[in-house]
Chains A and B, each alone.
Chain A
Amino acid sequence: MSLSNEQVGHIARLARIALTDAGIESTRAKLNDIFALIEQMQAVDTTGVAPMSHPQELATRLRPDVVTETDRREAFQKIAPQTEAGLYLVPKVIE
């Protein structure tokens, strides 16, 4: 498998990472090396093998539906790039 520049550009858009044209070219070469390594997996027949997501196969734990956290909005917003009146500011999304 070999990725094209168009595919690399598409993945970068999905990942929300800006890449320049020169960046796409150099990234493509490195990604293709990585995918060449990954492709070794495809030679193995895993029919009938159940996927393992987790070493301990835990069931998801449940807890009572009660409030356990305190309101720490000020502490959390102090480290935000831009806030106003308790809100996080981002560029206008809806005209």
Chain B
Amino acid sequence: MINASLVELRRALDARQLSSVELATLFLDRIAALNPQLNAFITVDRDGALAAARAADARIAAGDAGPLTGIPLAHKDVFCTEGVLTTCASKMLSNFVSPYDAHVVSLLKAAGAVSLGKTNMDEFAMGSSNENSFYGPVKNPWDATRVPGGSSGGSAAAVAARLAPIATGTDTGGSVRQPASFCGITGIKPTYGLVSRYGMVAFASSLDQGGAFGASAEDCALLLSAMTGFDERDSTSLERPAEDYAAALTAPAAGKPLDGLRIGLPREFFAEGMADGVRTAIEAALAQYRALGATTVEVSLPNAKLAIPAYYVIAPAECSSNLSRFDGVRYGHRAAEYTDLADMYAKSRAEGFGAEVKRRILVGTYVLSHGYYDAYYLQAQRLRRLIAEDFKAALAQCDVIAGPTVPNTAWALGEMADDPVQMYLSDIYTIAVNLAGLPGLSHPCGFDAQGLPVGLQLVGDYFSEARLLATTHRFQQATDWHRRRPACAQ
């Protein structure tokens, strides 16, 4: 049952083969057994989950169940949950019981999904390894000596270890796709503006976007369909009708499943820097895509290499502004001793923020300070346009772009902890997608020689989530990489 798809769980719930309470209990018991080792959850809300499950069972009995009614899930601890601790993995918010729900949380509650708790992450979603958490690092379920990726590492590890069938995440520079790749699961970051940022603790507002984790594209499609939709409380929320991404998966194919699909392979992503095990798995997956009827064409993203420097101006600049709200006055950590107001601010923030968050605030403060704005922030925004135009030109020649999600597989805990720049560089394939605001998905496509999962990234044009999910679904119907599980979830 722990490895059942959402469709199978739905069928079992509707047929009363098991109740939502039984299902929630199954996963809560797995969390109790495995979380001490994996550290994927910061907060487990057993009572809340069982109450929601009882309500879901009543809905199912009344014939009022939707696709997610009674389905357990986990929320990244970046989403505000009313009455439940919302820490963002920071000491700053370690006492913050949110007085309201994020839009995503309220949508999923209304759908009848059962939240099991809040998952660990890099503090304020800043990091690629989940080691920047006040609550300690998450362990990769495939190898507990390795990182799960970040920043949504707890959500990815929870789904991979089957502590939850699905989980929410957020992706500012790769924080859904990269941990999905490292943990061997499927993760999608939709077009910027599709998922409301209301109640999602802000990091870099022009890049932050909610996303979905599941074992398969089908599970992600069901979750994402329930997360998207216009919300007037987010000024960047797009006024578009919600889509049923799961329905799009069942469209019949004439001939081979992917006949007519043109896959663009960016020359720059295949040039150098990719680990051998990643290259081998990606090339085998591309051969599989061709066998399913797709054709591949070389495309170019000449400015992609500028994505990392541009991102490390834009994201810290927006972070320094967003995180100025943490002042120890209205909520969050306040230092115990201080001499005056300025001292209270400085000490509360020095104590409340971890090292990486402080570094990014300082970088952002500098690039936005008097005399530097044009040279840094405006220059980065100009590069952002060049990068977006590269994607536009590439997507004129193909339907989706494919490549590795990350140049390597999960690295060892501590390996890059003291070298932030080295870690930044590992996000080379994901960051450009956020700068352009495009949707991106990572799906498992094999393993390297150490038995660690490799992820393949698909990127499409704005609002092509249905195509990305359907393409992955076809691949997953013909392969079983998405059904492979670590030993703890056999």
**Which A residues have a C-beta under 8 Å from some C-beta of B?**
3, 7-8, 11-19, 27, 30-31, 33-42, 44, 46, 49-56, 58, 60-61, 63, 72, 75-76, 78-82, 88, 90-93
The binding surface of chain B is classed by DSSP as helix
CB distance B313 to A41 under 8 Å? Answer: yes
CB distance B382 to A46 under 8 Å? Answer: yes
CB distance A41 to B306 under 8 Å? Answer: yes
23 A-B contact pairs sorted by A residue (CB < 8 Å): A11-B369, A15-B362, A17-B346, A18-B349, A18-B350, A34-B424, A36-B421, A37-B308, A40-B306, A41-B306, A41-B376, A41-B379, A51-B384, A53-B381, A54-B437, A55-B192, A55-B193, A56-B238, A56-B437, A76-B331, A79-B97, A88-B330, A91-B341
What is the chain B residue whose CB lies nearest that of A41? B309
What range describes how many residues of B lie at the interface?
A: 35 or more
Q: Which of A27, A41, A55, A82 has the most CB of B within 10 A?
A: A55
| B287-308 with Cβ < 8 A to chain A | 303, 305-306, 308
Chain A residues with CB below 8 A from B334, complex form? 81-82
Q: B326-363, CB under 8 A of A: which get 1 and which 0?
A: 01111111100011111111110110010000110111
CB distance from A56 to the nearest CB of B (A): 5
With A16-B342, A37-B424, A52-B382 known to touch, is A80 a contact of B331 (CB < 8 Å)?
yes
CB distance B329 to A60 under 8 Å? Answer: no
B232 within 8 A of A: yes
With A41-B309, A79-B99 known to touch, is A17 a contact of B353 (CB < 8 Å)?
yes
Provide the bound-state CA to CA distance between A93 and B327, in Å: 15
Provide the bound-state CA to CA distance between A82 and B348, in Å: 14
Chain A residues with CB below 8 A from B340, complex form? 91-92
Chain B residues with CB below 8 A from A40, complex form? 305-306, 309
Please name the 6 residue pairs, one residue from A and one from B, whose CB atoms are nearest each other, closest first.
A55-B437, A51-B381, A46-B382, A81-B334, A52-B385, A18-B346
B203 within 8 A of A: no
CB distance A16 to B99 under 8 Å? Answer: no
Chain A residues with CB below 8 A from B345, complex form? 16
Chain A residues with CB below 8 A from B303, complex form? 44
Chain B residues with CB below 8 A from A63, complex form? 232
CB distance B99 to A50 under 8 Å? Answer: no
Chain A residues with CB below 8 A from B327, complex form? 16
